[in-house]
């Protein structure tokens, strides 16, 4: 790992977050993330369903999409007229050339929308026409903030393939500490998902400790649980990291000022009891206290249920309660 390169990535991410905060009018309110919709491209080539031959593609045309002109190949057959834009691997079928061109334009829109979403996230003047794998490590981690969560997911997968290089750890911790970017919750979820294998991204104990502190602070201060990010944070600490530092963070967060954080920590304590049995007594003392003293009735019931499950060694546990504003 080149520590200076890792630091440069973190510094660039900090500027990126600051700019997004400014562009959002200085508001620190997080956006509610949408669900991930997997992107599949290219679409199925309709010409194969009609056995259109290579020799049938004799016609030529042009189409303009988002200000760019694309060549179109045309095939006139007994089954209808087919068109394709080879550059974007898109085909269409209709009864007239005009209808084919219109269908091609509609059919290609998801492809161009994805380019535009990547470009907008990275602050480019137009859409990004390359592959995400060809982006710099700095731009890949920025894409975790893309409103399109499938793009963020693709960037995450690419980061995972380079986990051992150690370039991402400081920037990933900065994502967890971020309290300004509107799309931070889905980005934080991606980082937490990667931190399920914390040693791969954080190769030494010092940076691992920093990561645990960042996750603890995320839970402690949570004003929402958009994208189930805060829930995920507890799972990572209690079910994956499983170190004394992580255990202490969970037990501390059962008393967090955030009700979302307390819910996450109460749930995490169940998994902590599974993996770190030496903490069972402390876990039960903490849960029993929450079962009588938590300010939220739902969390008092939840803590009592978790305490029963830990005492009996249950393999299943009560589903986390939802707060009224989450319904």
Q: Assign domain 3-26+125-326 to a CATH class.
A: mainly alpha
Q: What is the predicted pLDDT for the residue at 315?
A: 82
Q: What is the predicted pLDDT for the residue at 43?
A: 95
Convert the pLDDT of each residue in 72-121 to its tens digit.
999 999 999 999 999 999 999 999 999 999 999 999 999 999 999 999 99
Distance CA 325, CA 256 (A): 19
- CB neighbour list of residue 239: distance below 8 Å, 6 or more residues apart: 268, 271, 272, 274, 275
Q: Give the number of other Cβ atoms within 10 Å of residue 156's Cβ.
A: 20
Q: For residue 70, is pLDDT > 90?
A: yes
pLDDT category of residue 2 using cuts at 50, 70 and 90? low
Q: For residue 154, is pLDDT > 70?
A: yes
pLDDT category of residue 27 using cuts at 50, 70 and 90? very high
Where exactly are the structural domains of the chain? 3-26+125-326, 46-115
**259 and 224 Cβ atoms separated by less than 8 Å:** no
Q: For residue 326, is pLDDT > 70?
A: yes
User: What integer is the mean pLDDT of 25-38?
Assistant: 95
Distance CA 132, CA 139 (A): 9
Q: What is the predicted pLDDT for the residue at 314?
A: 84
Cβ density class 111-148: b for 16+ within 10 Å, e for less: bbebbbbbeebbeeeebbeeebeebebbbbbbbbbbeb
User: What integer is the mean pLDDT of 189-217?
Assistant: 97
Q: What is the predicted pLDDT for the residue at 3?
A: 80
pLDDT category of residue 166 using cuts at 50, 70 and 90? confident
Q: For residue 1, is pLDDT > 70?
A: no
Distance CA 55, CA 181 (A): 53
Q: For residue 164, is pLDDT > 90?
A: no
């Amino acid at each position: 790992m080149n520590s200076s390169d890792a630091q440069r990535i973190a510094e660039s991410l900090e500027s990126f977050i600051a700019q997004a905060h400014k562009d959002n009018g200085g508001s620190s309110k997080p956006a509610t993330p949408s669900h991930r919709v997997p992107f599949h491209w290219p679409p199925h080539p309709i010409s194969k369903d009609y056995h259109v031959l290579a020799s049938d593609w004799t016609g030529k045309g042009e189409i303009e999409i988002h200000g760019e002109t694309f060549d179109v190949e045309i095939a006139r057959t007994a089954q209808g007229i087919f068109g394709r834009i080879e550059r974007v691997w898109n085909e269409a079928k209709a009864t007239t050339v005009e209808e084919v061109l219109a269908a091609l334009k509609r059919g290609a829109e998801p492809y161009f929308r994805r380019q535009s979403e990547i470009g907008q996230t990275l602050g480019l003047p137009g859409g990004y026409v390359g592959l995400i794998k060809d982006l710099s490590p700095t731009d890949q981690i920025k894409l975790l903030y893309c409103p399109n969560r499938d793009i963020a997911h693709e960037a995450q997968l690419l980061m995972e393939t380079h986990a051992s290089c150690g370039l991402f750890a400081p920037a990933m911790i900065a994502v967890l500490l971020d309290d300004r970017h509107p799309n931070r919750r889905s980005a934080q979820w991606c980082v937490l998902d990667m931190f399920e294998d914390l040693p791969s991204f954080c190769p030494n104990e010092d940076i691992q400790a920093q990561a645990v502190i960042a996750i603890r602070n995320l839970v402690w201060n949570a004003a929402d649980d958009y994208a189930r990010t805060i829930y995920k944070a507890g799972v990572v600490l209690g079910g994956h990291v499983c170190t004394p530092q992580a255990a202490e963070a969970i037990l501390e967060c059962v008393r967090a000022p955030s009700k979302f954080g307390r819910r996450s920590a109460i749930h995490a304590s169940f998994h902590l009891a599974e993996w770190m049995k030496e903490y069972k007594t402390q876990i039960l003392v903490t849960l029993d206290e929450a079962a009588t003293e938590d300010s939220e009735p739902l969390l008092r019931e939840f803590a009592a249920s978790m305490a029963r499950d830990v005492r009996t060694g249950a393999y299943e546990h009560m589903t986390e309660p939802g707060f009224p504003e989450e319904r």
